[in-house]
Amino acid sequence: MSMRAAFLSTALALEPWVEEMRRHMPELELVAGGDDESLEIALAWQPHQGALARLPNLRLVHALGAGVEELLADPGLGAHVKVVRLVDPAMTAAMGEYVQLQVLRLHRQDLTYRAQQAAHEWRELPQPSAAERRVGILGLGALGSEAALRLSVLGFDVAGWSRSERRHRGFACHHGSDGLAALLARSDILVCLLPLTPETENILDARLFAALPAGAALVNCGRGAHLVESDLIAALDGGHLSAAVLDVVRAEPLPPDHPFWTHPRIVLTPHAAAATDPRTAAPIVADALRRFAGGEAVRNLVDRARGY
Ligand code: NDP
Ligand code: OXD
């Protein structure tokens, strides 16, 4: 049975999606921009303003990314519309790789060695073992739990934090507001892989930094709005935090005069930790659309009240 879906994105190119969806779902026609009021399904990632509102018959939006805060905040998204987020094992692996790289960079004191090289200084630093380095992961979902597992395989002393109680083999789990204090107190390196919700916005602030051990470091690959940027600068300049790796920032691209560009204890990447790849995402989207059309349960539905 043929199916039509709107493709709504200011950020993703249409052609690769047409090609990959044709490969995995030949019965689907993608309608660019979606200017057809009869459409019931949309694939969306940063849609044009007002694009969702122009689809009054919409029943399902499949996000072409993992974090759905922007879609949920779109005033054109009807309250009854189901939203599916992307959970792609290739994206999970890419994020796992990124977190391993950055935690190893911090663990092996790479920023200090780079600064020493710039100063022509040949000086070996005392190096703790991975087992002596405590890593905390905020968010134990698709991405956070894989990152935690990979870090524990590398030998780090890992613990994680989620909203509800979770159990994982290989690392300790904390949950809820009570669990946060315990996680922070034992995190020499803190990795944020939370979704952005009203509860998690600005969570990485001065109070949270003060609850980390002196000399701790931060890796933020959730969203820029998790972080109070001025609090980070203050914690780095005051010496309580030793370094930060930021894949996401509040305004992307980062404004040219932003202090993060030149801060000696900040490593920046341009929201590049784990991008959506249509080659691996298309079969996952196709499966969800087929299930939806067949009246079956669709996986990875967003709980709109919870915000993720
Ligand atoms: P999931 O929805 O699978 O997991 C979210 C996790 O966060 C869950 O463990 C959830 O707890 C926990 N959580 C949510 N709210 C709270 C809260 N208030 N307190 C404590 N824990 C909370 O998301 P993913 O792992 O797929 O993705 C996480 C985020 O990563 C995305 O939302 C996106 O912002 C970001 N991302 C960044 C990318 C990049 O390239 N930088 C790429 C892809 C995603 P519980 O288990 O109890 O539900
Ligand atoms: C996502 C992202 O949420 O790329 O998928 O940030």
- Provide the percentage of residues in the chain whose pLDDT is more than 70: 100
Q: What pLDDT, on a 0 to 100 scale, did the predictor assign at position 277?
A: 98
Cβ-proximal residues to 43 (8 Å cutoff; 6+ apart), any chain: 5, 6, 7, 8, 9, 17, 30, 61, 62, 64, 285
User: Counting atoms of ligand 2 from 1, which one is nearest the CA of 91?
Assistant: 5
Pocket test residue of 64, 177, 193 for ligand 1, highest count of atoms within 8 A of CB: 193
145/148 Cα distance (integer angstroms): 5
Judged against a pLDDT cut of 90, whether residue 1 lies above it is answered with no
Q: How far is 21 from 15, CA to CA, in rounded Å?
A: 10
Ligand 1 mean position to 236 CA, how many Å? Answer: 25
> Going by CA atoms, what residue is nearest to atom 30 of ligand 1?
222
CA of 220 to the centre of ligand 1 (A): 12
Torsional class of 234: left (φ above 0), alpha (ψ -120 to 50), beta (otherwise) = alpha
Residue of 154, 191, 158, 160 whose CA lies nearest to 173: 160
Q: How confident is the model at residue 35 (pLDDT cuts 50, 70, 90)?
A: confident
**C-alpha closest to that of 227 among 216, 235, 215:** 235
Residue of the CA atom closest to atom 5 of ligand 2 = 65
**In whole angstroms, what is the distance from residue 147 CA to residue 163 CA?**
17
Name the strand (E) or helix (H) holding 290: helix 278-293
For residue 66, pLDDT beyond 90: yes
Helix (H), strand (E), coil (C) string for 19-85? HHHHHHCCCEEEEECCCCCCCCEEEEECCCCCCHHHCCCCCEEEECCCCCHHHHHCCCCCCCCEEEC
Q: Residue 18's pLDDT is what? A: 98
Number of the ligand closest to the Cα of 219: 1
Q: How far does the centroid of ligand 2 lie from the alpha carbon of residue 275, in Å?
A: 6
For the stretch 174-221, pLDDT in tens is: 999 999 999 999 999 999 999 999 999 999 999 999 999 999 999 999
Q: 157 pairs with which residues across the strands?
A: 134
Look at residues 243, 269, 278 and name the one whose alpha carbon lies nearest to residue 110.
Answer: 243
Mutate to test the pocket of ligand 2, among 91, 92, 308 (most ligand atoms within 8 A of CB): 91
